[in-house]
Amino acid sequence: MSKSICILGLGYIGLPTALLFAKEGNTVLGVDIDQDKIQKLNQEILPFEETGLKKLYENAKHNFTASTSTKPSDVFLIAVPTPITKEKKCDLRYVVAATNSIKNHLKKGDLVILESTVRPRTTIDIVKPILEETGLICGQDFFLAYVPEKAIPGKTLEEMQNNHRLIGGITKSCAQRAKELYTFVKTDMPITSATTCETVKLFENTYRDVNIALANEFKILSKDFKINVHEAIRYANKHPRVNIHSPGPGVGGHCIPIDPYFLIDSTKSKNSLIEKSRSLNNQMPDHAVEFILNKINPNAKIALCGLSYKANVDDDRESPSYQIYEQLTQKGYDIIIIDPYFTNKKHPKIKKQSNTIKNVNTLIIATNHKEFEEFSAKDFEDSPVHTIIDLKSCLKNKQELQNKNITIHTFGDYS
């Protein structure tokens, strides 16, 4: 049965979710405190690009409106940011503000869902008491569940519909109601408690961060053995029960470098493997800069290839490219940035790839965008580029480039 759904937070998670619910026939109100975003949406301008989002919007817009204020609805879904504080703690200010704005409209039978990534026990210890200030009882008068999201930029819509989705209820009936709402999810939706569900979300990204830290540690060790760490990991991963992630110049994005701190913040355990892994991954841009400085000459005219933290998307949140750029600039290098996924509105130093390659002599690949992976000899005709530093070990046509007298230095290759 179609419902009225109010989604608070129209970002990378909230907007696609809102449109998926609208396409299912629900009446969706998208709410955001960002007036500019609401104005754009009301002029049918999407605030960011995502595969398939425009098409989905066209199919769903008759059931979707955007506003800066919350209205009475059958369902309220919170997808607001949960940044990290300077002290590396989970900042719940936006979650608290969004919950308070729901409180004024909450009535018997309503369902409230939290999707933002939070530290364990937030749903039960923070959100539930605020909503119960209305006098309504959770699990009896209204229903509350935690339903985390794990979609990645570039594949958000595909993953929102096809990924396994864990539902965490304050009570079983809360979880059951939430499960019934997600009609666009095509896979399994097991039910657990809200706190287990919050913790599972953090376990997933912490596992990946610790795994990357191990790969980075292997990279550091490989220097002593004079081997190529990427080759070694590729062979190790042929073992049927081994899955080592890739070493690199740092961990970016909105989840992997942040979520482990929400676990660290919530436990009394000190100096944990999780903390050590975070610290090692945080040092990787410094290692990358040290590697670069050993390979370039003081007159190098550099283009940094890639601002995104991830291939083939325009997402630069927590990207190690910024640290590499800053550190090299502080050393006196004048650096141009090329990134086909950004315009120079985002960063004034961004220039067009084809012109830049004719005006620099050194490339530093910091993001494995397909445009960089596929660099070939013909890209460097009439170009003074003589050195490429491949921080992602991603170049596909290495031999062809070397035949053109371009020296390639791969981060992690000490063979």
Which residues are catalytically annotated? 201, 255
329 Cβ contact list (under 8 Å, min separation 6) = 335
Phi first, then psi, for residue 31 (nearest 5°) are -120, 135
E strand map for 239-377: 302-305, 335-338, 362-365
The 84-103 site mask, x for binding ligand NAD (CB under 6 A), equals: ----------x--xx-----
Q: How far is the CB of 110 from ligand NAD (least distance, A)?
A: 17
Whose Cβ is closer to ligand NAD: residue 147's or residue 360's? 147
Q: How far is the CB of 258 from ligand NAD (least distance, A)?
A: 7
Whose Cβ is closer to ligand NAD: residue 116's or residue 410's? 116
79 contacts 149 by C-beta, under 8 angstroms: yes
Neighbours of 294 (CB within 10 A): 9
Question: Total residues at the site for ligand NAD (CB under 6 A)?
Answer: 28
Is 230 one of the binding residues for ligand NAD (CB under 6 A)?
Answer: no
242 Cβ contact list (under 8 Å, min separation 6) = 236
Whose Cβ is closer to ligand NAD: residue 31's or residue 113's? 31
d(CA 276, CA 118): 21
d(CA 14, CA 23): 14
Q: How far is the CB of 115 from ligand NAD (least distance, A)?
A: 6
Task: Kindly identify the residues of this chain, within the stretch 17-46, that bind ligand NAD according to CB under 6 A.
Answer: 31-34, 37
314 contacts 283 by C-beta, under 8 angstroms: no
The stretch among 78-86, 131-139, 328-336, 382-390 that binds ligand NAD (CB under 6 A) is 78-86
Pairing of strands 143-146, 167-169: antiparallel
The stretch among 75-83, 127-135, 241-249, 301-309 that binds ligand NAD (CB under 6 A) is 75-83
256 contacts 208 by C-beta, under 8 angstroms: yes
Q: How far is the CB of 235 from ligand NAD (least distance, A)?
A: 32
Amino acid at the residue 397: N
Is 82 one of the binding residues for ligand NAD (CB under 6 A)?
Answer: yes
153 contacts 177 by C-beta, under 8 angstroms: no
d(CA 130, CA 403): 66
Is 14 one of the binding residues for ligand NAD (CB under 6 A)?
Answer: yes
> Token pair for residue 302?
């550099």
For the chain, counts of helices (H) and of strands (E):
16, 13
Is 390 one of the binding residues for ligand NAD (CB under 6 A)?
Answer: no
The 243-282 site mask, x for binding ligand NAD (CB under 6 A), equals: -----------xx---------------------------
Q: How far is the CB of 14 from ligand NAD (least distance, A)?
A: 5
The stretch among 8-16, 217-225, 230-238, 332-340 that binds ligand NAD (CB under 6 A) is 8-16
Residues forming contacts to ligand NAD in the complex (CB under 6 A) are 8-14, 31-34, 37, 79-82, 94, 97-98, 115-117, 149-151, 153, 254-255
